[in-house]
Amino acid sequence: MSDGSMIVIDDRFPGWRARIVVDEDASQPWGDALAPALLIQRRQAVWAGEVYQPKHADRVLAAWRRFGTDELFERYLRLVHGTTAIRHVTGQDLTVVIFDTANFRAHAGITDVCDLTGEHDEWRAWLDGDVYGVIVEQHTAADGWTGHDSLFGLYGNAYAEQQAAAMLTTATAALTPAT
């Protein structure tokens, strides 16, 4: 089904393709079901803007500035905010510290230890520039390739390929396959 790593086709529908392109303007991972994240650059920390914000965000940020080491800060999170998981994702100039709090777990409906694998992977993709868009296109003799649908902000190439295949299937669902 794939015609190279950046174009998805379905041989039953010639003239249709889903192009996978690098999302040059990718925003930070977002969604209120994503765990809180501190963005740290040169020991200066700010909150990631589009993820869950802890109830006592100002206190957490003050603790980061006060303690000065990951070990003390992490201990503070565990003791004061009920944190069960902490992950660090480090890029060239930026580190993202992702963690849960008791309030976040209640908000997200998590009743056990929090698994931050998904958040880690999305932040890793964002830091590495591994964020894509999919453009579904149709080719006609009169117009050449024209856009039919698009979606951007897909973190990770494998996820972008899955979405490209799904979008192409949706776009061609009402068509009769070529014989």
pLDDT per residue as tens digits for the range 84-135 = 999 999 999 999 999 999 999 999 999 999 999 999 999 999 999 999 999 9
Both 90 and 160 in one domain: the answer is no
Q: Do 123 and 146 reside in the same domain of the chain?
A: no
Does 112 reside within a domain? yes
98 and 110 part of one domain: yes
Asked if residue 83 is part of any domain, the answer here is: yes
Q: Tell me what pLDDT residue 111 has.
A: 93
According to DSSP, residue 2 is labeled B
pLDDT at 1 over 70: no
The reported pLDDT for the residue numbered 3 is 39
Do 123 and 145 have their domain in common?
no
If asked whether residues 101 and 44 sit together in one domain, one would say: yes
Look up residue 40 and give its two tokens: 């740290």
Is 118 domain-assigned?
yes
**Are residues 62 and 104 both part of a single domain?**
yes
Q: Is the pLDDT of residue 179 over 90?
A: no
93 with 155, same domain: the answer is no
Pairing of strands 131-140, 95-99: unpaired
In this predicted structure, the answer to whether residue 66 has a pLDDT above a threshold of 60 is yes
* Position 33 pLDDT exceeds 80: yes
Same domain, yes or no, for 90 and 115? yes
Asked if residue 114 and residue 161 are part of one domain, the reply reads no
Q: Give residue 175's pLDDT band: very low, low, confident or very high (50, 70, 90).
A: confident
Q: Number of structural domains, the chain?
A: 2
Query: What percent of the chain lies above the pLDDT cut of 70?
Result: 97
**Cα–Cα distance measured from residue 161 to residue 170, given in angstroms and rounded to the nearest whole number:** 14
In this structure, the answer to whether residues 107 and 42 fall within a common structural domain is: yes
What is the pLDDT confidence band of residue 5, given thresholds at 50, 70 and 90?
A: low
For the chain, what is the mean pLDDT?
Answer: 92
Q: Is 179 a domain residue?
A: no
Spatial contact of 74 and 97, defined as CB atoms under 8 Å apart: no
2 within a domain of the structure (yes/no): no
Structural domain includes residue 146 = yes
Residue 32 is predicted with a pLDDT of 81
pLDDT at 4: 41
Does 120 lie in the same domain as 43? yes
Q: Is residue 49 one of the residues assigned to a domain?
A: yes
pLDDT tops 80 at residue 159: yes
Which parts of the chain fold into alpha helices (H)?
Answer: 57-67, 70-81, 102-108, 117-128, 157-172
85 and 156 in a single domain? The answer is no
Cα–Cα distance list, 77 to 27, 33, 66, 74 (Å): 27, 19, 13, 5
pLDDT at 177: 80
Report yes or no on 53 lying in a domain.
yes
Mean pLDDT, residues 122-150 taken together: 95
List 89's β-bridge partners, or say none.
96
Q: Determine the structural domain holding residue 165 and report its residue range.
A: 7-26+130-172
